[in-house]
Amino acid sequence: MNILFKTVFTLVPATLLCCGGPLFAQNGKYVITGKLPAANKKVYLGHEAGDKYVITDSTKVINGSFMFRGAVKQPGFYKLESKHLKNPIVFILENAAINVSKPDSVSPVVISGSPSHDVYMNFYNGPWKTITAKAGGIYGRLDKAEKAGKMDTATRAGLDREFRALDTLNIATVKQYVSMNPSSAGSAGIIYDRFISYPNFPVAEELYAMLTKEARQSDIGEQISTAIKTNAKTAKGKVAPAIAMPDKDGKIVKLSDFRGKYVLVDFWASWCGPCRRENPNVVAAYKKYHDKGFEILGVSLDSKKDAWLKAIAADGLTWTHVSDLQAWSNAAVKEYGVKAVPASFLLDPEGKVVGKDLRGEELNKTLAGIFK
């Protein structure tokens, strides 16, 4: 179920106006002009740099208007943040004249002037709507079946088939769009959203190879490359990265403690709906195969211990659990390149990866083959 429901901004044409006339970027630099609700007095421009979020610049908002000038080496995702903005404004910044407008709290954000951002948003305002429409129907039937207590084997199998077909459509739709826009950092952004944030690395690598050198060298393209290299650490046959983390009693547990057994390293969190829905399947697998040599190491992305422990008890998760309570800054999350939860890695008795993201019937079939 690698489908991400992503809140995106409405994109419509806007005029770049400042001081009574058009304002243009010059000499490989950017100019960002914009309108924000009058309550905002200062706006910050920032972006992700490796594992850190960096504030690049800030400026005053005067009578609702603001301006930034600068230069970027390559196009990349940036955010505009201000005290009275409910959500940051995310866009692709490149050396161009860009206008970002949200004059009041109810108006949609309007962004224009960045060709890369146009490519990115035209996908979400076009082809992606077909995907979300189909996904909405499947998730609706899933929720209805769960609430009615009718989630039997046949119903789940049918929904799983629909999700697999949807994934196939998702891949084909993105591939077609990227093939039409191979030189745009916007295409790199779509690949990152669809197949890095919600991991499908074989597809990510295939689509990344379709990008031109220009797009691969964008900040977003380089993030895809880094994620692919990190994912290679947990490729099948590789010894999984070490984990040493406190359990719920504060005792340090090491992944190496499980050598000699098959172990599922299961990344999850109490606040993760898909994780909690998957937990009954993991519980069933643990009960069926634990006595045959199957172990689970649950790695939580929680930040609040009470919520973590409450979820463990509520879902009947009787295996070993660890967490440093650092949420997405969890040390193991970085080592394993986890971009979304649930995420899991099945290791053999030597600590080598034999499977990734095995869920539901797929996990059961894999374990059945191992312990036959």
Statement to judge: residues 265 and 365 lie in one domain: yes
Strands 320-322 and 294-300: parallel
The answer to whether residues 223 and 341 belong to one domain is no
Is residue 239 a part of any domain in this protein?
no
**154 in the same domain as 262:** no
Q: What residue spans of the chain are helical by DSSP H?
A: 115-124, 127-147, 153-180, 185-191, 201-210, 213-216, 219-232, 273-289, 305-315, 331-336, 360-370
Same domain, 106 and 142: no
- Shared-domain flag, residues 270 and 325: yes
Both 205 and 155 in one domain: the answer is yes
CB atoms within 10 A of CB 360: 18
d(CA 157, CA 155): 5
Q: What's the CATH number where 328 sits?
A: 3.40.30.10
In a domain, 207, yes or no: yes
Q: Number of folded domains in the chain?
A: 3
Residue 7 lies in a domain: no
Residuewise pLDDT in 10s, the chain (372 residues): 333 333 332 333 222 333 333 445 556 899 999 999 988 999 999 999 877 899 999 999 999 999 999 999 999 999 999 998 999 999 999 999 999 999 988 899 999 999 999 999 999 999 999 999 999 999 898 888 888 888 888 888 898 899 999 999 999 999 999 999 999 999 999 999 999 998 899 999 999 999 999 999 999 999 999 999 999 999 999 999 999 999 999 999 999 999 999 999 999 999 999 999 999 999 999 999 999 999 999 999 999 999 999 999 999 999 999 999 999 999 999 899 898 899 999 999 999 999 999 998 899 999 999 998
Q: Are residues 140 and 167 in the same domain?
A: yes
249 alpha-carbon distance from chain centroid: 30
Closest CA to 14 of 78, 103, 76: 103
Looking up residue 80, the CATH number of its domain turns out to be 2.60.40.1120
Question: Contact at 8 Å (CB) between 112 and 14?
Answer: yes
Q: Are 173 and 194 in contact (CB under 8 A)?
A: no
Domain with 332, as residue range(s), is 244-370
Q: Which residues pair with 42 in a beta bridge?
A: 60
User: Tell me, what amino acid is at 304?
Assistant: K
Q: Are residues 140 and 196 in the same domain?
A: yes
Query: CA 102, CA 45: separation in Å to the nearest integer?
Result: 15
For residues 336 and 285, membership in a common domain is answered with: yes
For residue 160 the two structure tokens come to 């799983």
Q: Are residues 150 and 41 in the same domain?
A: no
